[in-house]
Amino acid sequence: MANAPIRILGLDPGLQHTGWGLVEHDGFRLRFCAEGVISTKAGEDLPDRLLALHHGLAKVIAEMQPDEAAVENTYVARNPESALKLGQARGVVLLAPALAGLPTREYGAMEVKRAVVGNGHADKVQVQAMVRQLLPGVTFKRADAADALAIAICHAHHRSTRNAFARAVAKAGA
């Protein structure tokens, strides 16, 4: 018997484009719910872009009513200024679900790829193909949304493992 489904919001942080994807997971099956991208304008001041990102995420959370969120850790080593801006955007992406009271987990890119494709060094095309396989009928407007759905799938897999482990420990201690 399946558990009541939970709604997982996957978030792929970016200052220009933050992808989001929502799936339902009942412990066994995944179901695609929605996806999208929150975009900011490169010419605007950073505080205005961060505010737009926050407002967009708050709207998605209010409309989609997720139960949990998952955010990808980001790695940028090429340009310190870009890394700092991405870090600030990531802070907003972590803050929005926290303000809504959502439990939020973080996953590294290799961990997401390993959970979705089975290979931590998979390329974007492989990840997108597996997301399509795991969520039949899904189409994405942008690669950022596909990445966000992959993050949500990763969280669903890890959540199932954590729950099974907790049940086993509880049963062993009983």
**Catalytic status, residue 106:** no
What ranges in the chain are assigned the alpha helix state H? 46-64, 80-99, 109-116, 124-134, 143-173
Measure the CA–CA gap between 57 and 60, rounded to whole angstroms.
5
In DSSP terms, 35 is beta-bridged to 21
Catalytic residue, from 24, 68, 72, 147: name it: 72
144 is catalytic: yes
Q: How far apart are CA 160 and CA 137, in angstroms?
A: 23
Give yes or no: 123 in active site. Answer: no
Which candidate in 35, 68, 144, 147 is catalytic?
Answer: 144
Active site residues: 12, 72, 144
